[in-house]
Structure 1
């Protein structure tokens, strides 16, 4: 792979990934919910978990994806169904969520008590078990990355894709957790929880329908 070819590949993967990241999906829904109902820090830690999940997707995309899909063609359906079940669980949890403190004191206290690990784990699990992300990276690396990739290019992709993902969702969290906006939306926190729950359940059901119907 020449230098020019390598950077052309990097640009194609980065552009496709950027379009995938900014499109609405489970990751966006979870960061939105966390930022609006739990606060800025919760949203940023959730974004960090999502960015970390991208490392796994890049890893199996660059190493062994073709082997897995060739040897175990049913594995993609299994991954999609597991992810759909997780989306349904998250959606039902959001529907059962209790109302939040309208003054935002609960959100601030949660980070103080070390709940950043919980927010990080939520973001990580959401991305790793996100069928949309899994199928996106399968399509990305089987269609664009058709030739052997050099080690420097692997390293560049492994660094850029997670960092750009984190940067986008952290920016979303910061924008949505602006103090005035958050104070205005805290009164509707329970409705936001329920709306996000319905969105996640709809996404999960759509994945199940597509997987079993295909």
Structure 2
């Protein structure tokens, strides 16, 4: 049975991993800055959903197959790198074409929230390093013969920690949304985040 101390330690490790700058961080920051807190939180919830998937499959050993198979790992890695490159290039094209102030009505905000959730989920699921992370982490906090309740508990804790962190981040960045909707600032933001996403894609592909 997982003790309270083990749960706190597990949550601490997951929080540090979530706070580390990476594709997830950039996705949430960009959506919160461009479309507001709702979209940023949606992206964070998408990432948290991906974390839940990885935590569960790692606990049941499925992710271990991905981590152990060079071919499977490479395929997921390259697909994930291509997806990040796609998001980055899309942002760069938006920056080059931008010439007017950004206006976001309620309907568009809803659409963007759904898009943000999807992008957060896919970005996380296509990052094989998440599989490796949970394959290495979960066994340290599970008993030698873990039961389903134990596995789901740690998976839920991973989701809660991830969701809370990215919700906080989205709200902090979202406060500055009015500043980021300036056409000039938005162009700079798209250029920077697009370049970083492409760079992450290249890095993941070459690792």
Q: Under a length normalisation based on structure 1, what TM-score does the superposition of the two structures give?
A: 0.82
Structure 1: 5+ residue stretches without partners: none
Match of 1:190 among 187, 191, 195: 187
**Could you say if the C-alpha distance between residues 132 and 96 of structure 1 is closer, same or farther in structure 2, counting changes exceeding 3 Å?**
farther
**How far 1:67 moved relative to its partner?**
5.5
Counterparts of 2:154 and 2:201 in 1: how far apart (Å)?
29
Note the residue ranges of structure 2 that are not aligned, 5 or more in a row. Answer: none
Cα distance, 1:143 vs structure 2: 6.1
Displacement of 1:41: 1.2
Q: State whether structure 2 residue 203 is matched by structure 1 residue 209.
A: no
Query: What SS does the aligned partner of 1:74 have?
Result: helix
* Contact 1:34 1:46 (8 Å CA) reproduced: yes
In the alignment, is the contact (CA less than 8 A) between 2:39 and 2:116 conserved in 1? yes
Q: Distance in 2 between matches of 1:204 and 1:143?
A: 30
1:180-208 Cα distance to aligned partner (Å, 9 max, x none): x2222322011111101111111111112
Matched residue SS, 1:106 = coil
**Equivalent residue of 1:81, what SS?**
helix
Give yes or no for the alignment of 1:38 onto 2:35: yes
- What is the SS of the residue equivalent to 2:121? helix
Q: What is the root-mean-square deviation of aligned Cα atoms in Å?
A: 2.5
- Alpha-carbon distance change, 191 to 10 in structure 1, aligned in 2, over 3 angstroms: same
- Could you say what secondary structure the match of 2:164 adopts? helix
Deviation at 1:161, TM superposition (A): 0.8
87, 92, 95: which one aligns with 1:90: 87
1:134 equivalent in structure 2 = 131
* Whole-angstrom distance in 2 between the partners of 1:206 and 1:26: 11
Write the mapping of 1:162-177 to structure 2, written as runs, cut at 5 A: 162-177=159-174
- 3-state SS of paired residue (2:104): helix
Please, which moves more after superposition, 192-201 or 123-132?
Answer: 123-132
Contact 1:39 1:108 survives alignment (8 Å): no
Q: For 1:134 and 1:66, locate their aligned partners in 2 and report how far apart those are by CA, in whole Å.
A: 6
Larger deviation, residues 145-154 vs 16-25 = 145-154
